[in-house]
Amino acid sequence: MEKLSILLEKYNEVYNEGYFPAIKCKNCGYTTQVLRNRCIRCNSDNLEIIKISHGKIYSYTVINRGLDEITAVVIVDADGVKVKGNYMGDQNYLKIGNLVKSTKIENKPVLIPLSQ
């Protein structure tokens, strides 16, 4: 449990810096955004936290509940690692393959067009 606590602390540090945290296995290289204390591929506990700062839009959905605010949720492919985050930017930019980067807005990481 101690290792998981250390990973969680580092995971939160990366998140609070405005990046999307991911867990990478130092043994086999498998990487996921889901916090775990063991690699699901090789069962190693030799893990590290990495920062995801940019990637390509892999998928997205726009949620409109009839309110003034529209929410866009994006799945980004960052060199094979899929991460999910909220998108803040021009809705016309939301296209599969477009590049986005992480930034910190209101104390949490969000995705914006790479050109901003």
Q: Are residues 39 and 87 in the same domain?
A: no
- CATH number, domain of 14, equals 2.20.28
pLDDT in tens, 41-76: 999 999 999 999 999 999 999 998 877 788 899 999
Summarize the confidence of residues 86-93 as an average pLDDT. Answer: 93
pLDDT band at 4 (very low <50, low <70, confident <90, very high): confident
Q: Are residues 47 and 73 in the same domain?
A: no
Q: Are residues 9 and 44 in the same domain?
A: yes
Q: Are residues 5 and 48 in the same domain?
A: yes
> What domain range includes position 62?
54-113
pLDDT in tens, 12-45: 999 999 999 999 999 999 999 998 999 999 999 9
The distance of Cα 11 from the centroid of its chain, to the nearest Å, equals 11
CA pair distance 92, 106, nearest whole angstrom: 23
Q: Are residues 45 and 89 in the same domain?
A: no
List C-alpha distances in Å: 110 to 2, 75, 79, 80, 98. 29, 12, 18, 19, 15
pLDDT band at 116 (very low <50, low <70, confident <90, very high): low
CA pair distance 100, 103, nearest whole angstrom: 10
Number of domains in the chain: 2
